[in-house]
Structure 1
């Protein structure tokens, strides 16, 4: 084993251990190895990498085998702690604090070393909680989806909170107005301020000192987005959120504020009156629900999932699928077999090409919903799909139910039908045999790398948010 294959700090501690065990000083061992004591000190402190020939001389002088000298194990408990502390103090996490390096001396008590090391371990633990690797994010998303499925995607306490606040704003009928949202903020002691220089990593910023909620310019297209962003910021205050201590808690808080915003824009009682009447008329439609409350198609579809099981006595599924077929968001409590990876996560998995969530992209008339029945190994499902586009590309929004419940929806009479046998790869993932034999080994595609798959979410007080940008923004506007 060469010196490069061994940790220099561990090597230095092992040399010092054997030297002191034999009662030798630095100068005595150095003279036996043809080395000055000061140079040997650098080696023992891990600051110089010795040549192999010198290591052989040192091993001979100490009376140990070279392999024993180069072992990766610390020679004793104290040495192990000293090595760990030295590494911790070289960590950029500690360096960012601007604190001095503590030099461990021979006379430093062991409890002092253990105490310092405990602080470093806790610093590292807290930092790791503020960052989420893709694997951690997927696990947290999966746990959250399963939790909401168990709850029927319904949170009664937030439903009631939204109902109370909307009524207190003076709202009676129709879509919630910008003025009524402003009143809701004012009742909490906040004013809504529209600015052009929000930090890039934020959707809104709340100044808790001066009672301001900063939002994007009021002139941006579409009113729903601004109302929703303001309501989400209000939701944080009403729900008494503290700084999230983990990525899972951050996700839960985000779900709660999104739920509150949706429940305020589409209040429970008014929504149920509208949806229940549509069900009696067998004319349930996400399109109509969307238009009645002045929200986006996706918001209306998600809100339907909140109310359908608890109040309309039906199970259902919701899908948001990218133009390439990858599932971006999904919910089901009707047995639809969503694609999952080995961890149980659905995000980024490709849905079957036979499902309307993908076949709708080929539909010529995209101004209205596309209706389809799909036979699957879990039964037949009816679905309504609306397509849309953003600068990032196309997407589709689907809401569907088992065959027996299609009778409540507009579009149930569609003759569009397909058959899906996924997850059997022969359904849509395995190429045709003849075509595969023609091209196997004769194609070399250059895959597009999705950088977010490799990168952890940025750390900070709130994941993905640049604290410096936020504080500079607040500092600039606090003087206004």
Structure 2
């Protein structure tokens, strides 16, 4: 509803209020102002805008000042509820349901009015939750990836903020310590609290009342992850985030806090100095970058995508691929032809079997990076791939560059080479004709159904988070 329409409803209700106080019917007031009662009814219902002279006549007839008649506030509590209901019924959200409007009358009980409003408020609340279908989420993620590609995956404002906060913590060199992360939290007025009963749908919970950031126990495997989780929670506060109004905004906020955490753990000045020296020595390596700052291989690979183009003048690509070949995360500004669906989304698409992101799984020695040159329709690319595993599945992390940039990297001398013709299906997606002829009508595999294909993203103020669990958790810890 427009502001103008809302003002007309308020005006109409104020006229009705003062008319009723004077005991006038519509026809009686109409006689005083020279207007038919039916015309006055349209004004009182907010469906017609009266002339100023008519308003002056009405004010005189009901014995109030024109300024009182024109006040943009409900004359009483019932009128306030009627205005809210009328606005709700004119909202496109309600209109999309195809239901008739409820006509408000003087005799409508307050309980009925309040019940109707309660339904509309709940409808609005559910619609405003950060919820998205898989299609909407994929579209939002695709738009975000294109946005970051346009700026070479580099965010200078967050880089500067991270440098300032790290410097203020007393950090000088080497890996950022847990103690320094705690100091950063204290400088923001927060305490880091490690608990065993964190809600299962969360990685951390921030109590904005008692200024606490709750994290999993410090003793969990991979303790470096706790630093990142704490920094991400602080990032929300430092970047002034409000509750996300859409899934796209949720994704943007998540990208920003992840970027902030990475920029703190691997500060720009120190990282660029390390990488520049390695490039001069022609010894660039994700492994060395990882070890120098005490982070995961994936974190180091992603951080390289932030800095390589903006500071080393080097386009590149990053891939995280599951053991079955599905692309979980991807970034490129070197024109590597990432697999994509008709919407441009890459998540869940299968990368070519010839790429090192998949061929690395077939090699027995996985303790170090696997290097490979791959000839593609878009040119030749060099890649360094490291494999790993979670409780759920295997995965690979790849960082690659066009052939001319390989000279800066350790592993450039590899003789491992492959040819990829994808997206030509004859490359690796279409079985050989003789095998296909032999088995096409004689095989019936039972497909594994991925539940997430059919399910919408979980609803809630924050997608996937159970609000009830979070609030009960905070209530339980608030008294401590």
TM-score range, shorter chain: 0.7 to 0.9
Which residue is 1:357 aligned to? Answer: 357
The reply to whether residue 301 of structure 1 matches residue 301 of structure 2 is: yes
For 1:455 and 1:167, the matched residues in 2 are separated by: 44
Q: TM-score, normalised by structure 1?
A: 0.76
CA contact (8 A) 2:376 2:422 kept: yes
5 Å-filtered alignment, 1:373-392, equals 373-392=373-392
Q: Measured at CA, do residues 140 and 85 of structure 1 come closer, stay the same or move farther in structure 2, by a change above 3 Å?
A: closer
Question: Equivalent residue of 1:421, what SS?
Answer: coil
Pairwise CA distance, 1:127:
1.4
Count of aligned pairs: 384
Structure 1 segment 156-235 matched on structure 2, within 5 A: 156-235=156-235
> Residue 125 and residue 208 in structure 1: after superposition, are their counterparts in 2 closer, same or farther (change >3 A)?
closer
The residue aligned with 2:419 is: 419
Task: Give the unaligned 5+ runs of structure 2.
Answer: 1-88
Do the aligned residues in 2 keep the contact of 1:85 with 1:117 (CA within 8 Å)? no
1:420-456 per-residue CA deviation (whole Å, 9 max, x = no partner) reads 0000000000001000000111111111111111111
Q: Deviations over 1:448-470 (max 9, x none)?
A: 11111111111111111111100
Give structure 1 stretches of 5+ with no counterpart: 1-79, 91-101
Structure 1 residues 129, 193: CA separation in 2 closer, same or farther (over 3 Å shift)?
closer
What's the counterpart of residue 463 of structure 1?
A: 463
Aligned equivalent of 2:3: none
Query: How far apart, CA to CA, are the structure 2 residues paired with 1:136 and 1:124?
Result: 19
1:55-454 superposed matches below 5 A: 120=120, 123-124=123-124, 127=127, 130-454=130-454
Native 8 Å contact 2:129 2:462 kept in 1: no
**2:371 match: secondary structure:** strand
Say which SS state the counterpart of residue 427 (structure 1) adopts: coil
**Superposition CA RMSD, Å:** 2.6
Q: Which runs of 4+ in 1 moved over 2 A?
A: 84-90, 102-109, 116-126
Q: Deviations 1:342-395 (Å, cap 9, x if unpaired)?
A: 000000000000000000000111000000000000000000000000001100
Cα distance in 2 for partners of 1:212, 1:128 equals 27
Paired residue secondary structure (2:273): helix
C-alpha distance 120-360 of structure 1, shift in aligned 2 (>3 A)? same
- The question of whether the paired residues in 1 share the 8 Å contact of 2:130 and 2:250 is answered with no
Give the superposition deviation at 1:120. Answer: 3.8
2: distance between equivalents of 1:405 and 1:456?
A: 42
Query: 1: CA distance between counterparts of 2:317 and 2:102?
Result: 60
